[in-house]
Amino acid sequence: MNKHKVFFQPGDILVEATDGSTLKEAMNDAGLEFDFLCGGRGTCGKCRVKITKGLTTPVTREQEMLQAKELDEGIRLACLTRVSNDMTVELPNRKELKHNILITSDERVFEIDPHLHKIFIEVAKPSRENHSSHWRRLKESIVQQGYKDSELESTISILRQMPDVMRSANNQITAVIYRNEISGMEQQDTTKTMLGMAFDIGTTTIVGYLLDLYTGKELSVVSTLNPQTAYGADVISRLNFASHEENGLIKLQGAVVEAINELVTEAVQKASVTRDQIYGISIAANTCMHHIFLGINPQSIAVSPYVPVLSEPLVLNASELKISINQAGKVFILPNIAGFVGADTVAVLLATELERSEDIKLVIDIGTNGEIALGSREKIFACSAAAGPAFEGAQISGGMRGAVGAIDHVYYRDKLEYSVIGEGKPLGVCGSALLDAVAGLLELGILNKRGKILAFDQLTNPAAQRFKQNLIQYEGQGAFLLAEASLTGNGRPIMITQSDIRELQMAKGAIAAGVRVLMETYGIQVQDIKEVLLAGAFGNYLNPHSACVIGLIPPELESKIKMIGNAAGTGAKLALLSSSEFRRAKIIAEGVKFVELGSYPRFNNIFGESTYFNIK
């Protein structure tokens, strides 16, 4: 069928619309929810849009509903106008727009509800009749736009700018308003632009998303290695550095702030915009990264009972944190739940809407610490499982991060096959391949329940026969060869050793024990869980079947697994685009019941049992 391009502004949203379909349908396709008060029957006249390219002849009903002047200007009703050629359509009042944001395949609809507002005003000039102060005359103009005078507040920084800005702009000003505070004053009309960035500050990686705060459109995505890695690879070493090294906290904070400022630079360059157009950033991070970013000593997180200094959400001026965006800019920091269940988990829960779900779902964000949440709208429990770095390739003989050169998946076919990230010669194995390799060994009967690699003559499964040459000895113990030295990029063989398997058992045991404790605490059986949502990079890379075979995830749930991408990033975006979502994050953080695994009765036994494999 014939298709046409429809380009919506503001927001630069392009969709293809079938010939003869209505603009209303195209708006739906574009994810632009609009209040069609009469249900799209052309009777309320509220869906006025302005067609600036590809104007159509108005239908009779439009001629009745609209004035001649409006028709001449290109005003049409979206519900009645049919697409017959490429069009550019200008949408009215942004407040009425709703926006869809994608979580992998699922659509998560929310309403854009900006934290900050911009209004263009013309401030009365001082005269003998009106000799009130600059600030009073400015307030009077703002009050005319529906704000309450008594509630409007200024800051010393704005007052200091006021004389110059008002003079230079000839009293024509755009006021940036956060709640009741005038947070910015700009010359002339800048109301059309308001950008923001959502950040997910991980221990290893920082990701930033540049968004249009009016439309929700993503303009660019940037990421970098967290430069704090230079001071320690994991959370615990950062905690120690911050607490015990001289100026440790200041160094770590400086490093992350600098990284964020560099990501801002990169993101605005990619999108051909300026950093001054950015008025808000949101932050999702684990509790330790959160504290360090704020310059708060995280020492109390390091020792039992692992309490954070702050769990509440926070809004700060970007300038207070030396974040280089517009000087009116605000930083929206998502709340934490506990010392090891941080704002990143809250962001994941915000994205997954667990607290609104009728079904019980299990949400796992696997990293060095696996944050696990189990719940529904009835209640939510969460814990942090100290998985250690095995899933990230550390402490594994040939382990590496999921970077170029890493074997990322392993297949037991006629012979052993594998895929390599970047498709060159392999340099090592990353976590997902470790899962595949061990899962295959279990299915072939090469590994026993306790994780021991059996000798070739102990194997009973005929299918195991063809991997005879992969079964080798290494440092006096059994090992399984994935790639011999001649095939690798660095001339060293890549194998899975007995101790690699022990490391994996510890890691998967920690997660599995956490899941079990949460189920016990909730009082449910595994079959009560209707969905397993895997968040985070590793969660999106692993083979769900392998995860279930090794018992990282209960095997009964294999068909219920869904990957949800960087849900922490998605949550950060939601919190940035919508002040009601940001408020919801607080409710979520307060509502989640934190379960401290270390003090759970019989936890050591549960963990020990969970390190075993369940051989069917």
In whole angstroms, the minimum distance from the beta carbon of 157 to its own copies comes to 9
481 touches its own copies (CB under 8 A): no
> What separation in angstroms does the CA of 433 have from each of 419, 437, 463, 482, 552?
9, 6, 20, 10, 14
> What separation in angstroms does the CA of 120 have from each of 152, 190, 192, 329, 354?
16, 8, 10, 17, 40
One residue of 120, 135, 418, 456 binding its own copies per CB under 8 A: 135
- Total binding residues for its own copies by CB under 8 A? 40
One residue of 294, 441, 479, 561 binding its own copies per CB under 8 A: 294
Between 379 and 502, CB nearer to its own copies: 379
454 touches its own copies (CB under 8 A): no
The stretch near its own copies (CB under 8 A) out of 26-34, 87-95, 426-434, 593-601 is 593-601
The strand pairing partners of 593, in sequence order, are 381
One residue of 63, 67, 85, 133 binding its own copies per CB under 8 A: 133
151 touches its own copies (CB under 8 A): no
Burial 34-43 (b: 16+ CB within 10 A, else e): bebeeebebe
One residue of 27, 78, 101, 162 binding its own copies per CB under 8 A: 162
List binders of its own copies among 332-351 (CB under 8 A): 336, 338-339
One residue of 60, 93, 105, 127 binding its own copies per CB under 8 A: 127
The answer for residues whose C-beta is within 8 angstroms of residue 170's C-beta and 6 or more apart is: none
The one-letter amino acid code at 464 reads: A
Residue pair 298/287 in contact by the 8 Å Cβ criterion: yes
Between 59 and 159, CB nearer to its own copies: 159
255 touches its own copies (CB under 8 A): no
Between 306 and 418, CB nearer to its own copies: 306
407 touches its own copies (CB under 8 A): no
Q: How far apart are CA 588 and CA 341, in angstroms?
A: 12
Between 17 and 158, CB nearer to its own copies: 158
The one-letter amino acid code at 95 reads: K
236 touches its own copies (CB under 8 A): no
List binders of its own copies among 295-324 (CB under 8 A): 295-297, 299-300, 304-312, 314, 316, 320
Tell me if residue 9 falls in helix, strand or coil. strand
Between 311 and 566, CB nearer to its own copies: 311
148 touches its own copies (CB under 8 A): no
Angle at 519 between CA 515 and CA 521, to 5 degrees: 115
In whole angstroms, the minimum distance from the beta carbon of 591 to its own copies comes to 13
The answer for residues whose C-beta is within 8 angstroms of residue 406's C-beta and 6 or more apart is: 393, 400, 420, 421, 426, 427, 428, 429, 430, 433
Between 309 and 394, CB nearer to its own copies: 309
Helix (H) or strand (E) holding 13: strand 13-18
The one-letter amino acid code at 6 reads: V
Between 14 and 303, CB nearer to its own copies: 303
Q: How far apart are CA 370 and CA 382, in angstroms?
A: 10
169 touches its own copies (CB under 8 A): no
Between 449 and 583, CB nearer to its own copies: 583
Q: How far apart are CA 577 and CA 570, in angstroms?
A: 11
Contact characters 594-613, its own copies, x per CB under 8 A: x-x--x--------------
DSSP assignments along 400-433, one per residue: --SSTTEEEEEEESSSEEEEETTSSS--EE-HHH
The answer for residues whose C-beta is within 8 angstroms of residue 149's C-beta and 6 or more apart is: 139, 140, 143
Residue ranges in contact with its own copies by CB under 8 A: 126-128, 131-136, 154, 156, 159-160, 162-164, 294-297, 299-300, 304-312, 314, 316, 320, 336, 338-339, 594, 596, 599
